[in-house]
């Protein structure tokens, strides 16, 4: 029987990865979007043929992905996508709360309050319409814009790497949380509050409100865990 990677290659044409960093990015994205589901086997030969790279490059990418906690390498058998259990998810959220709060504070400290005005506007009527219409892909895209801007403004590469790693490991869970009853509207109100604090230049309030936002997301996950995980 063909492996999952081989079956996927027949369905989805792939542009060759040009370098090691690009290959890692492609594989991270596929894992985050569950093209490779938790527990799926990843074989060097299949991926090398599918992505147009050497086995050595795939092997190097596996090392990077393992260090990010996304895969587990198995001697002489390739690798498999890590499957998070419930306790790990909640541990990650506890760390994420601290890091996201720190990121918001640093972002405010490093920028002028007016730098956030375009996002304040974007999280107004445009986001209201996404919530009203159930346009969750657009909603998530806008959240990602805020996330990237905040990380860039924070200006701390160690923090950025840690948050990106957490994001990779929990992105699919976050997508499931957003579609739960009332969560998108609640999350929008919380992000607006964070942005209002950022627009005022209040770093302490931005940190506190961002931590509350993550805590609220975790509470929603706890409530609906049997439907999500």
Count of structural domains, the chain: 2
Domain boundary, last residue among 49, 81, 113: 81
Do 180 and 104 reside in the same domain of the chain?
yes
pLDDT value at residue 115 = 97
Same domain, 114 and 207: yes
pLDDT tens readout for residues 65-85: 888 778 888 887 789 988 877
Q: Looking at residue 36, what is its pLDDT?
A: 86
Stretch 47-74: mean pLDDT: 88
pLDDT one-digit tens code per residue, 167-176: 988 887 888 8
Residues 92, 70 within the same domain:
no
205 and 169 in a single domain? The answer is yes
**CATH number, domain containing residue 217:** 1.20.120.530
What's the pLDDT tens digit per position in 176-202?
889 888 999 999 999 999 999 999 999
Q: Are residues 110 and 18 in the same domain?
A: no
- Residue range 57-61: mean pLDDT, rounded: 91
163 and 204, same domain (yes or no): yes
187 and 171 within one domain: yes
All residues at 6 or more sequence positions from 145 whose CB lies less than 8 Å from its CB, including other chains: 119, 122
Question: Residues 90-147: pLDDT tens digits?
Answer: 999 999 999 999 999 999 999 999 999 999 999 999 999 999 999 999 999 999 999 9
Between residues 48 and 10, which one has the greater pLDDT? Answer: 48
Q: Clarify whether residues 204 and 100 are in a common domain.
A: yes
pLDDT at 208 > cutoff 80:
yes
Q: Are residues 24 and 133 in the same domain?
A: no
Check if the beta carbon of residue 168 is closer than 8 Å to that of residue 31.
yes
pLDDT mean over 56-67: 89
Say whether both 66 and 176 belong to one domain.
no
Q: Are residues 128 and 49 in the same domain?
A: no
Residues 112 and 153 in one domain: yes
The rounded distance, in Å, linking the Cα atoms of 100 and 159 is 9
- Where in the sequence is the domain holding 23, given as residue range(s)? 4-81
Whether the full predicted model's pTM is greater than 0.95, yes or no, is: no
Q: What is the CATH number of the domain that holds 8?
A: 1.10.10.10
Q: How many helices (H) and strands (E) does the chain have?
A: 12, 3
Mean pLDDT of the chain: 87
């Amino acid at each position: 029987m063909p492996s999952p990677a081989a079956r996927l290659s027949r369905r989805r044409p792939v542009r060759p990865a040009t370098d090691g960093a690009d290959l890692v990015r492609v594989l991270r994205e596929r894992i985050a979007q569950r093209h490779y589901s938790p527990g799926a086997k990843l074989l060097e030969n299949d991926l090398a043929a599918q992505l147009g790279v050497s086995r050595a490059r795939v092997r190097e990418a596996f090392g990077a992905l393992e260090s990010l906690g996304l895969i587990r390498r198995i001697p002489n058998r390739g690798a498999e996508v890590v499957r998070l259990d419930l306790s790990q998810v909640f541990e990650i959220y506890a760390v994420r709360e601290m890091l996201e709060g720190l990121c918001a504070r640093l972002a405010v400290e490093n920028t002028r309050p007016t730098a956030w005005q375009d996002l304040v506007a974007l999280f107004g009527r445009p986001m209201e319409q996404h919530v009203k219409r159930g346009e969750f892909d657009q909603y998530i895209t806008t959240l990602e814009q805020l996330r990237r801007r905040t990380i860039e403004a924070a200006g701390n590469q160690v923090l950025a790497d840690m948050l990106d790693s957490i994001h990779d490991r929990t992105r699919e869970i976050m997508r499931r949380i957003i579609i739960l009853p009332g969560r998108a509207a609640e999350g929008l109100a919380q992000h607006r509050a964070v942005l209002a604090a950022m627009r005022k230049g209040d770093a302490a309030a931005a940190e506190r409100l961002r931590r509350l936002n993550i805590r609220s997301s975790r509470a929603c996950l706890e409530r609906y865990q049997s439907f999500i995980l």
